[in-house]
Structure 1
Amino acid sequence: MPLTILVADDDFATRLSITDYLEITGYSVIPAENGKEALGLVQEFQPHLIVTDITMPEMDGYEFVRRVRTRPAFRLLPVIFLTERTSTEERIRGYQMGCDNFLAKPFELQVLGVVIRSLLDRYALIAQASSRSESESTSTEARHRATNHPESDFSTKKSETGDGYSPRPNSPNLTQREQQVLDLLTEGLSNIQIGDRLHLSPRTIEKHVSSLFRKTESSNRTELVRFAMEHHLVSNW
């Protein structure tokens, strides 16, 4: 299943050229003419990354990204601004709103492709770091923790049955469903993909993700995944 990218730009030629290039590259692209339309599409399609102009009618890129970031499920969603507004003040405002990168117009499509790939590779790097961390722990240590801290939460039960989990004593108590969502989230899946795997609606998945944020005191998915790695709430993958 290809990764989904939402492209918001009021200029038809720009929107079309980006869409064609990304689809040829192998992505699934959702186009939008302005921030207002794009905001609805984010909720509907749960994209893996957003490419957006700043100057657009009805809702500009700043307001669009600000609203996206207010939703817990999208706090980690990578955002790239494509714009002619590249002054220091504009960049500062953009980063404050939650963008990850600026590309000045005119731009090279190949450069955009590299930036997109770099941002999407974040989860792969997190996975590699988790694997190295887990490999340092022996199976004896995992069994010892499970024996001395027989919490009733789902994570501990998986450790006791030898499924590769070894949660720390101070780990939060997760329900079985929350653990399933966390496992898939650390693989880099979007809410809609997790819902497809678990046969649940994206809204239900969003509620579970919000609960995970609350229990781990995380503000975005990067912090949540890091917390899960540090507390051994996820298995090797």
Structure 2
Amino acid sequence: MALSILVTEDDLGTRIAIAECLKQAGYGVITAANGREALRLLYEHHPHVVITDVMMPEMDGYALVHEIRQHPSLRLLPVIFLTARDTTAERVRGYELGCDVYLPKPFELEELRAIVGNLIERSQMVQSEMQFQHQVRSKSALAAVPLPAQNPMAAHPTLHFTDREQEILSLLSEGLSNNQIGSQLHLSPRTVEKYVSRLFRKTDTANRTELVRLAVEQHLLDRVR
């Protein structure tokens, strides 16, 4: 599943340049010419990162971010501000509204691409940790209920993987290294290793061999096909 970026910029040349840079990096890109159009596309496509100019017609970047942060499901959505107006007061206003990075114009496209990758990694790790903690609390609530003894390799009917964990599990089953997985998914080897450790914890396995064997025996790989 391709990671998607919403680029909101009223200048056509800048919008095209950013979109092409991100497409070359393997991202799916949705573009908008103003904040109002971006808001509509946001709810339609559910992007992983929003890049927005500040000064735009109809709805500017400040109003767009304000609208985004009003929705609980979007409060962790990474937002990057782009603007030629780089005063301290404007940066403070942007951060108070909830933007994650304030990148002044002119900027290097390679720097923007690196920022996008960093924000996606951080966002996915936070979401994965939140889901894992929810699962831990759910298991703790059921711990008092006596259950029949079972083999640790038995089925995991309540086991839940995030989309990213499912992708990594599938690539692990193909024998790929952390570097190879990171290259395919636009993640650093360190981040891949964190996901692999999370999979060990969720499945009560000790190494990759056990994890892949469990995934095959319990048809866990069927979820990613």
- TM bucket normalised to smaller: 0.5 to 0.7
1:163 counterpart residue number:
156
Amino acid at match of 1:235: K
Structure 2: tracts of 5 or more residues without a match: 147-151, 168-197, 204-210, 212-225
How many residue pairs are counted as aligned between the two chains? 162
Cα offset, 1:116, TM superposition: 0.5
1:88 counterpart residue number:
88
Q: TM-score, normalised by structure 2?
A: 0.61
| More off after superposition, 107-116 vs 86-95 | 86-95
1:104 counterpart residue number:
104
1:235 correspondence with 2:202: yes
Identity %: 42
1:66 counterpart residue number:
66
Are the aligned partners of 2:76 and 2:123 in contact in 1 as well (CA < 8 Å)? no
1:148 correspondence with 2:144: yes
Q: State the distance in 1 between where 2:111 and 2:26 align.
A: 16
Q: State the distance in 1 between where 2:165 and 2:81 align.
A: 26
Are the aligned partners of 2:81 and 2:103 in contact in 1 as well (CA < 8 Å)? yes
Amino acid at match of 1:45: H
Q: What are the Cα deviations for residues 96-154 of structure 1, in whole angstroms up to 9, with x where unaligned?
A: 11100011100000000110000001145448979xx9xxx9xxxxx99855256xxxx
Match of 2:162 among 184, 199, 218: 184
Are the aligned partners of 2:78 and 2:123 in contact in 1 as well (CA < 8 Å)? no
Are the aligned partners of 2:22 and 2:113 in contact in 1 as well (CA < 8 Å)? yes
Q: State the distance in 1 between where 2:115 and 2:140 align.
A: 44
Cα offset, 1:84, TM superposition: 1.1
1:76 counterpart residue number:
76
Structure 1: tracts of 5 or more residues without a match: 138-142, 151-158, 166-178, 190-228
Amino acid at match of 2:15: R
Where 2:107 maps in the other structure, the secondary structure is coil
Amino acid at match of 1:27: Y
Q: State the distance in 2 between where 1:37 and 1:98 align.
A: 20
Greater relative CO (CA pairs within 8 A, separation 6+): 1
Are the aligned partners of 1:6 and 1:49 in contact in 2 as well (CA < 8 Å)? yes
Mark the structure with the bigger radius of gyration.
Answer: 2
Amino acid at match of 1:54: V
Q: Closer, same or farther in 2 for the Cα pair 1:163/1:83, shift >3 Å?
A: same
2:117 counterpart residue number:
117
Q: What are the Cα deviations for residues 59-116 of structure 1, in whole angstroms up to 9, with x where unaligned?
A: 0000011101111221110000011122111111101111000111000000001100
Q: Closer, same or farther in 2 for the Cα pair 1:71/1:147, shift >3 Å?
A: closer
1:30 counterpart residue number:
30
Where 1:121 maps in the other structure, the secondary structure is helix
Q: What are the Cα deviations for residues 156-180 of structure 1, in whole angstroms up to 9, with x where unaligned?
A: xxx9x77397xxxxxxxxxxxxx96
Q: Closer, same or farther in 2 for the Cα pair 1:129/1:65, shift >3 Å?
A: closer
Q: State the distance in 2 between where 1:73 and 1:188 align.
A: 22
